[in-house]
Structure 1
Amino acid sequence: MAHKNCFEAVDRTLRDILQIEDPQNAEKPFGGKVVVLGGDFRQILPVVRKGRREDIVQSSISKSYLWNDCHVFKLQTNMRLLQGNMSEIETSSIKDFSEWILKIGNGELGEGDGDNNISIPSDLIIQPSENPMQDIIDNTYPNLENKFTDPSYLQDRAILAPTNEVVEELNDYIVSSLNGEVHEYLSSYFICKASSNVPD
């Protein structure tokens, strides 16, 4: 989520520019232009360096002077459930998962104030073994050794990791388990001046 200062800067800029054609635009939010913002307050809050919890909350657009002029519309229909190519079991599973996620976001699961313990359904948990990394890979990318050349197979899956170090470790582990020749592609931030086609 963007810091409220970003929206307020756009607001002031549009007011300044659009008051040239109509002086009353200086008094209208965003200079009288309709601005559509999309987002979810359950997602990541704005980043405030060395900020306390209060600072982070105050940086949200809901704490901006613009918020009083905002109209909030909520999405009600899960479009994924309307796809005709899913079985009843798949549709039911996605619906149950969506409702569970919403309950977490609304604070309807768990007990007490503050930190809550939430029971995760067993079908969402990868059972631990001696090699948890392999378990995650096998669960996310079943039959990877036969499908890793299929772009659509890879596009539909992802493993989230907390740090870049874990990403590197996962990548190295997966690549080492695949058969085939390794190709390494390098990139550069600067073009070499030694090239004959590069102007000074």
Structure 2
Amino acid sequence: MRLTVGRDQSDIEKIRDFAEWLLDIGEGKLGGINDGETVIDILINDPHDPIGSLIKFVYPSILEKYNNTSYFQERAILAPKNEVVQEINNHLLLKFLGDEVEYLSSDSICQSEFVHDQFDANLYSPDVLNDLKVSGLPNYKLVLKIGVPVMLLRNIDQKNGLCNGTKLQVISFGKRVIEAHIISGTNIGNRTFIPRMSLTPSEKKILSNSEEDSFHWLYVLQ
């Protein structure tokens, strides 16, 4: 669905054919009868640095081409777990020049949440809150550089193309805002500002940390 936004009909048909092909692979509908053995082409050719090898294949000459909008439109690395995503992001971030800018989420909770219950600060220490890995929320620390591509995690302004899954490229940093231009969807090239905002996790067990203040970003190059 994300890939079809802003595409013409011929591209949409190709994308849907590719999606059906992936589903057929998963359901075992492709290929002929065999003895259980097959040959798989592996893109990772360096067993000592598998992530670096994958990045080199998907993002060749990244420093020379990252200013080309279509370069990141045509590339992405999918990962099964957020931990793997974070490791890939860390590798990619090192390839970009310039200084890192670090943004942190809130590391305390509002005690008004415990009006009728006793508040135990030891149960909600900064270390505990910072270690939470919540579905739908970024980790407590976000590290970026100028030029890195990012992806929105929420629908912020659908009219202007700021939807879940929209890709952007960072232009500049403020204390509580990030400036970027859109590189996917229907508003490619438009500049926008993403402010800090409160996010509420969907998991009921951790709603005591519901006022987590963070950016609506998935980490770099997800």
Report the TM-score range of the alignment, normalised by the length of the smaller protein. 0.3 to 0.5
The higher-RCO structure (CA 8 Å, 6+ apart) is 2
Task: Please say which structure displays the higher CA radius of gyration.
Answer: 1
Tell me which protein shows more helix as a share of its residues: 1
Tell me which protein shows more strand as a share of its residues: 2
TM-score w.r.t. the length of structure 2 is 0.34
